[in-house]
Amino acid sequence: MFENSGQTDLSQLGEFGLIELLTKDAKKVQSTTQLGVGDDAAVIDSGDRYTLVSTDMLLEGVHFNLSYAPLKHLGYKSVVVNLSDIYAMNGTPRQITVSIGVSSKFSVEALEEIYAGIHLACDFYQVDLIGGDTTSSKAGLVISVTAIGTVEKDKIAYRSGAKENDLICVTGDLGGAYMGLQVLEREYAVFKGAPSSQPDLEGMDYILERQLKPEAQRGLVQLFEEKGLQPTSMIDVSDGLASELIHLAKASDLGATIYGDKVPVDHVTSQVAEEFKINPTVAALNGGEDYELLFTLPLDSYEKIKDIPEIRMIGHMTEKGSGVYMADQAGNKITLEAQGWNAFKQD
């Protein structure tokens, strides 16, 4: 009944366009609302400090495939992706709520597996599960998590705070989760064709884990604290480096240039990417779900970070209007585009 051809397809707008359209009428009437839609987490003024709130919904058949995603991992991941948004504000997650919709054909034991993963993530990240909702779903499995965190007011890192010449840095390595997904999809396709076949996953543990059981960067906030560093801007890498870098540049009203040879890619990721005839750097730029943190630091932080292995410097912010580029060693620049993830794109 909502499919009249005179209306507008959701896929035409893309996720960000859609959010912009739907939230443009949102007014701010509460004085404690420090920041609403538009960053990794919303920011509420709680007096002494800020409260951070982030929410994400994972749906079967869209965000995960139960044919190869173990339930326990799925519970774990659904927590992690939300905690990542709190860390991306330079905050510390404290509590989560979890709402789950499951088919009534699901067994209690299967649901317990999901919760085992949720509890495991709570333990590891030291957050409390404080509420939620469990209900039946006529269709697939739905998991919606809200994470609540705190941050000292002078420590918060928005997307919008980068300054010209700031160093662009990233944690960990990129593209692994995406290549893990390619391998899982390939083996699943083989399995559907020949159910007795054994999946060919040898040596791929790293990228499979990046996809199925990613971790959020809980150490970075403390590392900043210890080293006396304050990020000027930060975002988590959930949709791919290119998309996130464009977000940072746009929010900070600046340009950005990164160097292709500095983009960190693990050797397993590279190897598998080549097997799939994908340029490893392209996997890092456009593949999502790495949950690393992308951030900027003042130029004079260079001495402090050059010997910290967890932080990789990959470029710098450039003047307003100068565009967002990746440069190679020969000095050639390519314009980065947000391939991001469009949940509404038809397969």
Structure tokens at 243: 């998309």
Q: Which of residues 206-265 bind a second copy (CB under 8 A)?
A: none
Minimum separation from the CB atom of position 145 to a second copy (A)? 9
Determine, following the binding rule CB under 8 A, whether residue 142 of this chain makes contact with a second copy: yes
Stretch that binds a second copy, among 89-97, 164-172, 223-231, 265-273 (CB under 8 A): 89-97
Is residue 296 within a helix (H) or strand (E), and if so which, with residue range?
strand 292-297
Q: Which of residues 34-63 bind a second copy (CB under 8 A)?
A: 35-37, 41-42, 44, 46-49, 51, 53-57, 59-63
Determine, following the binding rule CB under 8 A, whether residue 83 of this chain makes contact with a second copy: no
Spatial CA neighbour of 82 closest among 122, 114, 50? 122
The footprint of a second copy on this chain (CB under 8 A) covers a number of residues equal to 93
289 Ramachandran zone, left/alpha/beta (phi>0; psi -120 to 50): left
Spatial CA neighbour of 220 closest among 52, 90, 316? 90
Determine, following the binding rule CB under 8 A, whether residue 26 of this chain makes contact with a second copy: yes
For the chain, the straight-line distance linking the first and the last C-alpha, in angstroms and rounded, comes to: 22
**Other residues' Cβ atoms within 10 Å of the Cβ of residue 209:** 15
Specify the residue, 145 or 285, whose C-beta has the smaller distance to a second copy: 145
Determine, following the binding rule CB under 8 A, whether residue 94 of this chain makes contact with a second copy: yes
Stretch that binds a second copy, among 129-137, 190-198, 252-260, 320-328 (CB under 8 A): 129-137
Spatial CA neighbour of 159 closest among 36, 245, 283, 30? 245
Stretch that binds a second copy, among 22-30, 165-173, 204-212, 224-232 (CB under 8 A): 22-30
For helices 267-275 and 205-212, give the axis angle rounded to 10 degrees.
90
Stretch that binds a second copy, among 11-19, 153-161, 191-199, 322-330 (CB under 8 A): 11-19
